[in-house]
Structure 1
Amino acid sequence: MKASELISSVSSLVEKKVPTFLWGAPGVGKSSIVKQIAYSKDIGFIDLRLALMDPTDLKGIPFFDKDSHSALWAPPAFLPREGKGILFLDELNAAPPSVQASAYQLILDRKVGEYILPDGWAIVAAGNREGDRGVTYRMPSPLANRFVHFEMDIDVDEWRDWAYKNSLDESIISYIAYKSEHLFTFDAKSDIKSFATPRSWEYVDKILKSDLDTNLQLNVISGAVGKDVSVGFLSFKKVMNKLPDIQNILACGNGDYSEEVYVLYALSTGLVSALLKENSDERLDNLLSYTLELKSEFAVMVVQDLQRNGISMEHSKVFKEWVNKFAYLLQ
């Protein structure tokens, strides 16, 4: 299930306090999706990494209550006491069985020891699949049956839309459009420590925006996404210097054209990014006028990227001309 479908599905189940479990490979954005749901609902979000916990961390520490002459459990301070929110149990299946047993009561009965989870809080858990080369423990069937399970897939178009909205470096978005298989290169059978994932491309974005010496970029980016992907990406990045003047295109609708595929991917992404940063009817018309002479597949990619990012163009006279020319590709 792709991210947009997961967000819609999990969001609905959170409203009804139905426990859900997200399965997926490392670095695909499981925790980011749950956090996004919480923020969109303006509710609390607590992220518990169960793999780092001991059984008593959830249940609390026993103490003697002199009034009742009995042993009670002191609940941990990190568990919610009021309000609404999502209690996110990350890496649940990477936690030792003893920790899973403590979580079991919290998930089944919404309480553990003396602690009771407030009615306004929903439980969402996540973990890597058993074949993903991570440390995992088989989840007991009664616990697994308590969740609604989803498996997260990676959708390149959705990731590119997210990358635009989060202002990732244009060269990264362009490269993934050109080489979509390099968005995610994880291989459970390989022992290579560095591989490309949506999360590691975020690291690359931070590397590019740092003050790192350009002579060190290959080695550092290789540490994030792997050597082969890094070489391909940095080779692609060099074509950014060959791009026509994007601001001139948006200002007057005229500019040079290229036949190089590398350049066309980079140019298409650059045009979309520039318009999203500063949108106006005039700049949109100029962009559409320019794409009328652009290679058809790239003209369509530009318009589809703009539409997915909320740019309305039906009011544009140039768009009507654009549709007449490229409508056959949209069917």
Structure 2
Amino acid sequence: MNQRYADTITALGTALIAQVPVLLWGPPGQGKTSVIESLGDDLDFHVETVIASLHEPADFAGLPMLDPVRGTTRMLPPGWARRVVEVGETGRPSVVFYDEISTTPPATQAALLRPILTGWVGDLRLPPGTCSVAAANPPEIAADGWDLAPPLANRFVHLDWILPADVVRDGFTIGWPRVPVPAVAPDLVDRATVSAKLLVGTFLRARPELVTRMPASSEQSGRAFPTPRTWEMGARLYGAAQAAGFGETVILLLLNGSVGTAAAAEFLEFVRHLDLPDPETLLKDPSGYEVPIRRADQVFATAAAVFTAMTNDPTPERWLACGTILAKIADAGMADIAVLYARRWADPATRPPGTLPTADQFQSLRPILAELHG
């Protein structure tokens, strides 16, 4: 199979386990709908296809109807949303496939924001775990195409979708490829996502101008660009891909599709040079930690990682080891970093019952501890 196509369908599967809405961009007739339907068969998901360009705003926002008993207005959901809810009541999850959204007028695009972001359609809530996948043709080749509005574009991870000739050849002769959705334990994904969010937070601390960068042209406005929402999506995708053991190419596709190619490239380059120590190793032997005083980015990420790892298993020994790391950071002249986590470290909600800081820790973190204990 063509490697780029294989990486793209792997990225699609990763987005599904990370619960991030996906938008597949490609010319018509490239098998986008068929792939989503086969995905539903493989995973025993109900696939509800909604041709967005054939719908009105009320089909997503709800149709207003007066309730004479209560004297209020209800927003009645459409039939497709009720079907998804009915399937969910049987315990079967759903993928809602919004097709042709680039030929959807701006008013209908605006109405699409709510079901994709919150799961609400009118006064009806789609079941938890409902996945959103959309497909679009680039506006220059779509019939009566519209540029995707930035608020809607900002709710998806964008993946370019082109069916290579060898995939078409094999599809007609031996069968079409399936979307590989990795079987990864949810707790592994959750832990990897926490670590990914730490990396994103560390990066944005160093590059605050990339927290939000609006598209510079109308051509870019319908694609990925960095905002707090898309960085959070990118972190979830990065964590899911890491937990599944996927390579850098898949991760790059997912981050490019979340925050844009420029921000993704800077983030991955930052991560390569961060060279973080293993937090579990530091919690076992905190005395061996030497603070790299010229690498504030690494120190910040290390403090965050050690504190987070400790809270996953807050034994007295691990809590004291975390305190030693924070004390070392404060002693190295980086009290501004230490204080961010020392306040939470010393909080009774985090501290194991009956455990107190050592004399050295108290001396190094005295201002913080004195503040907490009045």
Q: TM-score normalized by structure 1?
A: 0.47
